[in-house]
A and B are shown apart, each in its own frame.
Chain A
Amino acid sequence: MKRLRTSLALALTAAFALSACNDGSSANDTTAEQTAQPSAGAETNEPVAGGDLRFALVAAPTGVDPQQVGSNVSIYIARSIADSLTDQDPTTGEIVPWLAEKWETNEDLTEFTFTLKPGITFSDGSPLTAQVVKENFDSIVEDLGALAPLGSGYLSGYEGTTVTDELTFTVAFDAPNAQFLQATATQALAIVSSDTVKTSPEERLQGQVIGTGPFVVESYTQDQGAVLAKREGYDWASPAFEHSGDAYLDKITFTVVPESGVRTGGLVSGQFDAISDALPQDITQIEGAGGKVLTRSNPGLPFVLHLNVAREPLNDPAVRKALNPGINRQELVDTVLSDQFNPATSILAATTPGHADQSGLLAFDPDAAKKILEEAGWVTGGDGIREKDGKKLSFSVVYAQLFSGNQAVLELTQQQLRAIGVDLQLKQATPAEQAEILASGDYEAYYYNSTRAEGDVLRTSFHAGLRNIAQREADDVLEPVLEASLAEADSAKRNELLGQAQELIIENAYAIPLFELSQSIGVAGNVHGLGFEASSRLKFYDTWIAEQ
């Protein structure tokens, strides 16, 4: 009996091996055929319409209303439903027409006049008019307010919108507002229908949003996901897209899959076509199954230690200035992150228009750091931590675990700073606690990042009259530069001002940039044309699935 079983097993194994050989040879044959007929190979490069893209999201979206949401996963969905007045080219950062075919500004950048493309309709059939745009902007400022934190920030100083005719309108501000043009390209100022403006904010989040976008909301389930369906007759794609006309995909099904192993396993086994937040350790598995991982750095502020200059010991400029050469950013990326991430080269991420490389000022040089501290009178104590007048060179940083690598990054930063005699204490907070601490001003350093494809993020974060996380007094060096950048229409001159601001912030070490956050999207081998927009969020309009 035993012998019989063994021989049976052997026979089965042999049969298996043989069939595997057969598969191999037939596969080779097909490859040979394909090389012989180039047309067959070219077929896979020609986009095909149709299909349902199954996308696994790392976290639950907060809703689908582009004007109210702020998290990446929510924007992935909301961005495809509604279009914006302008679009931003992700490679050049240039603002290009979308719903608006042209625009002009007055001399001092307080008035922006747009002309809409004719013939654009919302998915409920109502036409896009200047009046609808006015209703949108008015309601963001008056009704949504803090519920639309991004949009109401972009519209700060909003005086009103004047409708000139069916397709022309002028948006006016009480002060120069150079950042507004880029803001019109973001999802936060996407235009929704007149009916949607009148719908309650809660219902809008839950799926009742009508836009002009290439997809419409078919269903949305809180904490579960959303289904978007293609809109027929879409004909106003921006030049930043690859094609025009209808989108290729019939449907996009978003499902929330919090467990990273399940996202990767699902992608590899063909249960998903694309996944968000592919982890570094999963890349080999995804590539092994014929897929790929797309990455792009988020523009805006990289992850920074924003220092409170009103507190000891960070009120000592020498202490702040010693931190930049004391940190080995390349080591952060190599050791606790992966090569999908880039070390910071300035206080703006490299994908931000107006980014000016400051890597000379950010080079790792522990000896220089020690020298700065010693010259300022900080001497090494018994425990390796420097002291001055009996006070330890120690400060704490408040952070939240919003990005999974945060703790590891800060722990390594802690070790690096310890090597130059600085003691960094880590204080983890929940996002809610973090908000409370920030509002109270009771922190020594604050760790965060901020995504925006516009250099104006420098002004909103560092200007003494705005968020001012560094708790600086206004001075006649940085504030004038930041204010001038908001009033400068010429983009070359503006970039020069933004470059000056970056240099000033790094030289004075108001904030210590560490690394650039990066989006990492796993896609199956047959998914093509999935790309990032200028703010590194996904766009599905050009995406298509090749038949297998």
Chain B
Amino acid sequence: MLRYVTKRVAQAIIVVWAAYTLTFVILYLLPSDPVSIMLNQSQDGHVDEALAERLRAEYGFDQSTLTQYANLLGRAIQGDFGTSIANGARVSDLIAQVFPETLKLAGLAFLFTILGGTALAVASIATANKRLQQFLLALPPLGVSVPGFWIGLILLQVFSFTFPVFPAIGNDGFKSLVLPALTLAIPLSAMVAQVLADSLHSTWREPYVETARAKGLTRWQAITRHTFKNAAVPALTITGMLVGGLFAGSVVVETVFSRAGFGRLVQTSVQAQDIPVIQGFVVLAAVIFVAVNLLVDVLYPLLDPRIRSANLALAA
């Protein structure tokens, strides 16, 4: 087991490094540079070249790309992501300021996703009514294909502008969290429902479920005692991917709902080509993503004894 975990941790480190390097390459391939963006405040294209040169030297943009990469990576390993080019604030401070907001949003959205996705999938198998079942199974593909910002605008139109139940913008308390979390959760819960429903329906056809039913268990008992646990393994796999979806979705959702947060910070940093902030974001996102997937990997054997014995055999 220990060797298994060590191996996964080593893989995780490589993933984080690769993400860091890839963003660096992409950001440095872009034709414009952050200093001219910062100096073009009046937006008429007039930039003082002498000052621009001085600032570029200050941020080290005049060094060779490889030297810059080595320097940045060296400092990043020690946890120092430098300062924002756009406003001079420390990257770690900027991230620490907004991260709790996104965590709240992502946390609630995750809860909505799991509850909504599971409820829909289970309902689709629990009902004996064929028409209802088909209707329920048609919902996830619809939810996956609708763009997030559109869902956000519709929710705003109905629950904020027409019926003032929730505020349209801001970070004030739980109420301001509901609509953004729903917007984020709808496409993701559709994804969960799709996978879980599929796996529930195939497990439902397994002989042992039939046996259990023949022994007199009700439909509901057969689902909860025999089907669900086995069917949950594929759904657990995509839980890891959900975390990525939550981060990506927060960029759009936080912009539509004018919320302070990680996604909004990234959006403005990308516009300003604020390399240190983007790098800090990518590393943090990669670490979280990798950590969640590691957790999922470790959870598999607990859910499914077949995976446990396979791992032990591998480790022996």
List residues of A whose CB falls within 8 A of some B CB: 56, 60, 62-63, 68-71, 145-147, 149-150, 202, 205-206, 221-224, 255-259, 261-262, 265-266, 268-271, 400, 402, 430-439, 446, 448-450, 467
Contacts and interface: CB of A to CB of B under 8 A. Distances in A.
Nearest to B163: A269
Interface string B257-283: 110100011001000010000000000
A430 B265 CA distance: 19
A202 B93 CA distance: 15
A262 B43 contact: no
B45 A262 contact: no
Given A202-B88, A436-B36, A265 B41 contact: no
A258 B47 contact: no
Contacts of B48: 145-146, 149
B46 A262 contact: no
B41 A62 contact: yes
Q: Which residue among A223, A256, A433, A438 has the maximum number of chain B CB atoms within 10 Å of its CB? A: A223
B170 A255 contact: yes
B39 interface: yes
A450 B44 contact: yes
Contact of B42 (A71, A205, A257, A439): A71
A-B pairs, top 7 by smallest CB distance, nearest first, are A70-B42, A432-B32, A146-B48, A146-B51, A265-B161, A202-B88, A432-B37
A271 B167 contact: yes
A432 B41 CA distance: 10
B268 to A, nearest CB: 5
A258 B88 CA distance: 23
Given A202-B88, A255-B258, A256-B258, A432 B33 contact: yes
A147 to B, nearest CB: 8
Nearest to B88: A202
Q: Which residue among A146, A255, A400 has the maximum number of chain B CB atoms within 10 Å of its CB? A: A146
B224 interface: no
A71 B256 contact: no
A270 B258 contact: no
Contacts of A268: 161
Interface stretch (B3-11, B113-121, B133-141, B152-160): B152-160
Interface of A is mostly: mixed
A448 B45 contact: yes
Given A223-B260, A269-B168, A433-B31, A402 B43 contact: yes
Contact of A436 (B32, B156, B273): B32
Contact of A70 (B43, B149, B153, B167): B43
Given A223-B264, A435-B37, 20 more contacts: A70-B41, A70-B42, A146-B48, A149-B46, A206-B87, A206-B89, A221-B260, A223-B265, A256-B258, A257-B169, A261-B156, A265-B156, A266-B161, A269-B161, A431-B37, A431-B40, A432-B34, A432-B273, A435-B45, A449-B44
A205 B87 contact: yes
A56 B167 CA distance: 14
Interface residues of B, number: 43
B148 to A, nearest CB: 13
Contact of A202 (B32, B87, B265): B87
A257 B255 CA distance: 8
B256 A222 contact: no
A435 B36 contact: yes
Contacts of A437: 45
Given A435-B47, A439-B47, A149 B42 contact: yes
Nearest to A443: B45
A206 B86 CA distance: 12
Nearest to A266: B168
15 contacts: A56-B169, A202-B87, A205-B87, A224-B260, A255-B258, A262-B168, A266-B168, A268-B161, A271-B169, A430-B32, A430-B37, A431-B37, A431-B40, A433-B31, A435-B47
Contacts of B161: 265-266, 268-269
Interface in B166-194: 167-170
A206 B93 CA distance: 14
A222 B44 CA distance: 23
B41 to A, nearest CB: 4
Contacts of A450: 44
Contacts of A265: 156-157, 160-161, 168
B45 to A, nearest CB: 4
A205 B268 CA distance: 17
Contact of B169 (A147, A266, A436): A266
A262 B40 contact: no
Contacts of B74: none
A441 to B, nearest CB: 12
Contacts of A147: 51
Nearest to A398: B45
Nearest to B167: A271
Contact of B164 (A255, A269, A433): A269
